[in-house]
């Protein structure tokens, strides 16, 4: 069987290598210029949700959730995702998405947000909640998948550029660094790095273990619990394109104010640190999956959703590479869609 | 993600142990790398970390990190503040991992120990964090419930270095989803059979080829090497033998550790010649 080299040992590459080996591939190398789970994966929020705005994306997320459920605690905490709307328009959009999601079998429901103790709801017009969404820790999950891949015989090469290895099949899973490797193989991958940042609060006295991921639909502000702290994120006022990973401290106050407004138990919290990481954006904010040149596959361009989609994507692409019938329809994610202008819009980029 | 054989490296010192021997790091690290090691643990028990000042530990970590091998930096100190500061520095300097032993002297209860380890792990996140379990040195074992709670509080908890013996003391720590490195060379193979990630070996700081062969090829026996070196103060014996093996390393260790006396050196020389 052909030697398969997976370039990039983040969430996507680890899932792919694991699934390739579990489907019987015997000569798989997972290579990373750096170390396992130390690029964009180590910077990610770790939210895992099914509440997307297109059917293809929802199906990807549903298949991934099943995998996270099998991983279970402490790697995955199924605390749910709570979307809050504070305007009529925001509520209408939430409701429209909820209908699509519900049709596809996602257990998402309208409910009274007051079930989250300490949450301010007097300005909330409506809320939707999906109890089977949750939060995970991306590097921990990725390390676990690499452990499993190692047990199945995958060779893991850290500090090794994939292009220096002989490969009959090369998979580009380098996140924001994918375009460069694509170019080296004569493939133009429209993947651009976008700098985003996360903030972490000081310790809260007793944050509830079942605190859901809370999101404000209109502003995109959201937060989750991690240990005794909260991790906050928000879309930047101006997108910061480029490879530079810099924390913009001028955004701290606004984020903290939103948190204090929304969540009373965080009234005394401060921002203890922030870190920046890179999204690998495509023009339509959907990934590029499948063969892009002879013997070269792409698994990149996840546009901020890579970790949560990694289980299903890893499995389906592994199946396709091995000539099996993919368990998910990968057709919406082909590179060719950008030639024909057939890109479809994912409106919910957090 | 570290696996395989890591050497618990010695720390090159000079001036009767009063200062780091900065020039010696490069050649020593090249010697370790040439033997095929997968990485090193710096500033642990073999590396005299606990005897160095915080500033020296930072500088030594940087010198180890300048070398060709991935480095887990041991950052355990007596106080939580110093431990966390060292862990943060190691992470910023490019460590592949950070390890921390339970602080010796005070027998910490579960809550204190958990807070200490969680603070250290948080300070180096997302760099992988390893708990260094060595009951004979810290004075008490890390209770399993503390590890389970630490996994929830510190998702970057990647595993443990367990230097306990016998095997029955190591086995409870071989937890699913954690990478465990076994310290005692005579337990390394049994550990691997039970799913450990490899070895962090003090002996490999002096005889890396032999420990690499033991783990990778299941070949050879290092019991005699370990037993011989254990007759002497280990750090001093390690540095002396390394010197005899051609690594330009001084014999200096940090007091209260002591150098070998002349008779001990003669014995070791005789042993080296005969073996």
Considering only CB atoms, B152 lies closest to which of A42, A43, A74, namely A74
Residue B17, CA atoms < 13 Å, CB-side half-sphere: 19
Its pTM stands at 0.91
Residues A5-46 pLDDT 10s: 999 999 999 999 999 999 999 999 999 999 999 999 999 999
Considering only CB atoms, B1 lies closest to which of A36, A75, A226, namely A36
pLDDT of residue A335: 96
Give yes or no for residue A350 having a pLDDT over 70: no
Give yes or no for residue A346 having a pLDDT over 60: no
pLDDT band at B45 (very low <50, low <70, confident <90, very high): very high
Assign 3-class secondary structure to chain A. CCCEEEECCCHHHHHHHHHHHHCCCCCEEEEECCCCCCCHHHHCCCEECCCCCCHHHHHHHHHHHHHHHHHCCCCEECCCEEEEECCHHHHHHHHHHHHHHHHCCCCEEECCHHHCCCECCCCCCEEEEECCCEEECHHHHHHHHHHHHHHCCCEEEECCCHHHCCCCEEEECCHHHHHHHHHHCCCCCCCEEEEEEEEEECCCCCCCCCCCEEEECCCCCEEEEECCEEEEECCCCCCEECCCCCCCHHHHHHHHHHHHHHEHHHCCCCEEEEEEEEEEECCCCCCEEEEEECCEEEEECCCCCHHHHHHHHHHHHHHHHCCCCCCCCCHHHCHHHHCCCCCCCCCCCC
Give yes or no for residue A221 having a pLDDT over 60: yes
pLDDT of residue A341: 65
pLDDT band at B79 (very low <50, low <70, confident <90, very high): very high
Residues A144-169 pLDDT 10s: 999 999 999 999 999 999 999 999 99
pLDDT of residue B219: 83
pLDDT of residue B135: 95
Q: Is B70 at the interface with chain A, CB within 8 A?
A: yes
This model of the complex carries an ipTM of 0.86
Give yes or no for residue B58 having a pLDDT over 80: yes
pLDDT band at A340 (very low <50, low <70, confident <90, very high): confident
pLDDT of residue A158: 94
Min distance A18 CA to chain B CA atoms (Å): 15
Residues 74-113, chain B: which have Cβ within 8 Å of A?
96
Distance CA A123, CA A135 (A): 26
pLDDT of residue B218: 87
Residues B132-180 pLDDT 10s: 999 999 999 999 999 999 998 999 999 999 999 999 999 999 998 999 9
Considering only CB atoms, A42 lies closest to which of B70, B126, B151, namely B126
pLDDT band at A344 (very low <50, low <70, confident <90, very high): low
Q: Which residues of B touch A228 (CB under 8 A)?
A: 153
Residues A229-263 pLDDT 10s: 999 999 998 999 999 999 999 999 999 999 999 99
Q: Is B152 at the interface with chain A, CB within 8 A?
A: yes
Mean pLDDT for the stretch of residues B168-196? 94
Among the ranges given (A59-63, A217-221, B109-113, B219-223), the one the predictor scored with the smallest mean pLDDT? B219-223
pLDDT band at A349 (very low <50, low <70, confident <90, very high): low
What percent of chain B stands above pLDDT 90?
A: 96
Min distance A288 CA to chain B CA atoms (Å): 27
Distance CA A142, CA B212 (A): 27
Mean pLDDT for the stretch of residues A287-299? 97
Considering only CB atoms, B156 lies closest to which of A139, A144, A146, namely A139
Q: Is A227 left (phi over 0), alpha (psi -120 to 50) or beta?
A: left
pLDDT of residue A165: 95
Residue of chain B minimizing CA distance to A137:
B155
pLDDT of residue B122: 96
What's the mean per-residue pLDDT of chain A? 94
Give yes or no for residue A348 having a pLDDT over 90: no
Residue of chain A minimizing CA distance to B38:
A158
Give yes or no for residue B199 having a pLDDT over 60: yes
Mean pLDDT for the stretch of residues B225-238? 96
Give yes or no for residue A342 having a pLDDT over 70: no
pLDDT of residue B121: 98
């Amino acid at each position: 069987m052909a030697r398969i080299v997976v370039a990039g040992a983040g969430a996507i590459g680890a899932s792919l290598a694991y699934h390739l080996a579990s489907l019987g591939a015997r000569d798989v190398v997972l290579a990373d210029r750096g170390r396992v789970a130390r690029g964009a994966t180590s910077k990610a929020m770790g939210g895992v949700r099914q509440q997307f705005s297109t059917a293809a994306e929802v199906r990807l997320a549903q298949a991934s959730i099943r995998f996270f459920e099998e991983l279970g605690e402490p790697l995955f905490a199924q605390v749910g995702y709570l979307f809050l709307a504070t305007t009529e328009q925001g509520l209408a959009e939430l409701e429209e998405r909820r209908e699509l999601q519900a049709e596809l079998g996602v257990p998402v429901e309208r409910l009274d947000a007051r079930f989250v103790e300490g949450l301010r709801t007097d300005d909330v017009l409506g809320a939707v909640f999906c109890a089977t969404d949750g939060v995970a820790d991306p590097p921990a999950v990725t390390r676990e998948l690499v452990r499993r891949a190692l047990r199945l015989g995958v060779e893991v090469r850290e500090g090794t550029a994939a292009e220096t290895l002989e490969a009959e099949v090369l998979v580009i899973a380098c996140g924001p660094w994918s375009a460069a490797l694509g170019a080296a193989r004569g493939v133009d991958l429209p993947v651009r790095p976008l700098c985003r940042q996360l903030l972490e609060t000081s310790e809260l006295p007793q944050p509830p273990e079942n605190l859901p991921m809370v999101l404000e639909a209109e502003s995109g502000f959201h937060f989750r619990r991690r240990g005794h702290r909260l991790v906050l994120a928000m879309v930047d006022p101006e997108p910061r394109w480029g490879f530079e990973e810099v924390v913009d401290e001028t955004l701290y106050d606004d984020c903290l104010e939103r948190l204090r407004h929304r969540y009373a138990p965080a009234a005394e919290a401060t921002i203890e640190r922030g870190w920046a990481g890179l999204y690998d954006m495509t023009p339509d904010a959907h990934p590029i999956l499948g063969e892009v040149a002879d013997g070269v596959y792409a698994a990149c361009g996840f546009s901020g959703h890579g970790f949560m989609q990694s289980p299903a994507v890893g499995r389906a692409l592994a199946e396709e590479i091995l000539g099996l019938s993919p368990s998910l329809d990968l057709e919406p994610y082909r590179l060719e869609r950008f030639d024909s202008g057939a890109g479809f819009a994912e409106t919910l980029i957090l | 993600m570290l696996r395989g054989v890591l050497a618990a490296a010695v720390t090159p010192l000079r001036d009767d142990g009063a200062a780091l021997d900065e020039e010696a790091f490069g050649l020593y690290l090249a010697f370790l790398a040439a033997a095929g090691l997968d990485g090193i643990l710096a500033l642990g028990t073999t590396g005299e970390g606990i005897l160095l000042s915080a500033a020296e530990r930072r500088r030594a970590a940087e010198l180890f990190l300048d070398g060709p091998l991935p480095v887990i930096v041991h950052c355990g100190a007596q106080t939580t503040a110093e431990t966390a500061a060292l862990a943060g520095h190691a992470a910023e300097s490019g460590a592949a991992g950070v390890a921390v032993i339970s602080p010796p002297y005070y027998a910490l209860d579960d809550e204190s120990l958990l807070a200490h380890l969680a603070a250290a792990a948080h300070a180096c996140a997302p760099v992988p964090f390893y708990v260094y379990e060595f009951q004979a040195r810290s004075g008490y074992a890390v209770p399993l419930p503390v590890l389970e709670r630490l996994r929830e509080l510190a998702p970057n908890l990647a595993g443990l270095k367990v230097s306990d013996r016998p095997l029955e003391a190591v086995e409870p720590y071989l937890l699913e989803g954690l990478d465990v490195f076994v310290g005692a060379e005579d337990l390394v193979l049994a550990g691997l059979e039970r799913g450990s990630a490899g070895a962090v070996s003090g002996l490999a700081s002096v005889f890396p080829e032999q420990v690499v062969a033991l783990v990778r090829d299941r070949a050879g026996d290092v019991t005699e090497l370990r037993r011989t070196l254990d007759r002497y103060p280990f750090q001093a014996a390690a540095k002396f033998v390394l010197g005899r093996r051609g690594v330009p390393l001084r014999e200096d260790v940090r007091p209260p550790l002591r150098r070998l006396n002349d008779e001990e050196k003669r014995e070791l020389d005789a042993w080296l010649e005969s073996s």
